[in-house]
Amino acid sequence: MTPAIEINQVYKHFGEVTALEGVDVEINPGEFFALLGPNGAGKSTLIHILAGLTLASSGNARVMGHDVVTGYREARRLLGVVPQELVFDPFFSVRETLVIQSGYYGLKKNDAWIDEIIHHLDLADKANTNMRALSGGMKRRVLVAQALVHKPPVIVLDEPTAGVDVELRQALWRFIKQLNRDGHTIVLTTHYLEEAEALCNRVAMLKQGKVVALDSTQNLINSTSGASVRLRLSSDTLPAVLQPLLSSHDEGYCVLTVKEYSEIEGVLAALRRAQVQVLEMQLLQPDLEEVFVKIMSSTESQEVA
């Protein structure tokens, strides 16, 4: 099976600065893939290389088997990109913008699909409004619509929910999930890790131009050691036997980390023996954010060493 996206040993230098340093990523058709990393990690540069907005210094990238440089016309037809910046052409209305964008992709009669996108993105009321008169959120919707006019099998969204209200976020994700179920491959960058965790089956984490983690979302979450339990106890002092498990203690709550949930039984037994009552108990699931913070800080210490 041809991968939806293949990135092979991509390097990108801007003068002295190295934005990407030997990135390898392969994304299969139908995946919902997250590209995560702090600001300046190289996420957008990587997307720009895929989209042909930036040329890689070395290495290559393919969309559905088509090289983004030598086979750029085919690669771009198969790719829809929602850029991060809120850009628009002030000369045209929403519908005109979408008709023009369709034309660039060689589509003459695209009205039925344009109507459908307009409907799904709640743009119907604004279809004939000039782009200048739209709010930021509405402009964002049009950007998404523009990326979809040619029904690309691979859709890349570069921080589509930055500064967007709840309503649009939910509508947007409903629509994108629908597209994913219909077989479109989705690649997403975001700083909202709960979004990535809820939506994406696989995650790549970038740091200073390098891939520092690449795995399924579940595996990454499982990779953090064990689970945590948050307790409010009748006594302020924790039995000595439990002290090694304590990971934090504030405002009357202690958080204990265990390797597996089955160890909680032992914790409770130790508390009973010490005649300490449990007033509140909460199991804390490890989440992607925790993994992210851990991976980012551990690679940092490696580099210092």
What single DSSP character describes residue 5?
Answer: E
Report the site for another protein in 24-83 (rule: CB under 8 A): 48, 51-55, 72-74, 76-77, 79, 81, 83
Q: What are phi and psi of 24, to 5 degrees?
A: -125, 120
Among the residue ranges 94-102, 119-127, 193-201, 290-298, the one whose residues contact another protein (CB under 8 A): 94-102
| CB burial string 250-280: b at 16+ within 10 A, e below | eeeebbbbbeeeebbeebeebbeeeebeeee
Q: How far is CA 231 from its chain centroid?
A: 32
Contact 96, 128 (CB under 8 A): no
Q: Match 């948050």 to its residue by tokens.
A: 230
Residue closer to another protein, measured from CB, 48 or 202: 48
- Here the tokens at position 181 are 């179920």
Q: Any contact of residue 16 with another protein (CB under 8 A)?
A: no
Q: How far is the CB of 154 from another protein (least distance, A)?
A: 13
Q: From the list 22, 28, 107, 173, which residue makes contact with another protein (rule: CB under 8 A)?
A: 107
Q: How far is the CB of 53 from another protein (least distance, A)?
A: 6
Counting residues that bind another protein (by CB under 8 A) gives 32
Strand (E) or helix (H) holding 229: strand 227-233
Report the site for another protein in 168-197 (rule: CB under 8 A): none
Binding site for another protein (CB under 8 A): 14, 48, 51-55, 72-74, 76-77, 79, 81, 83, 85, 87-92, 100-108, 146
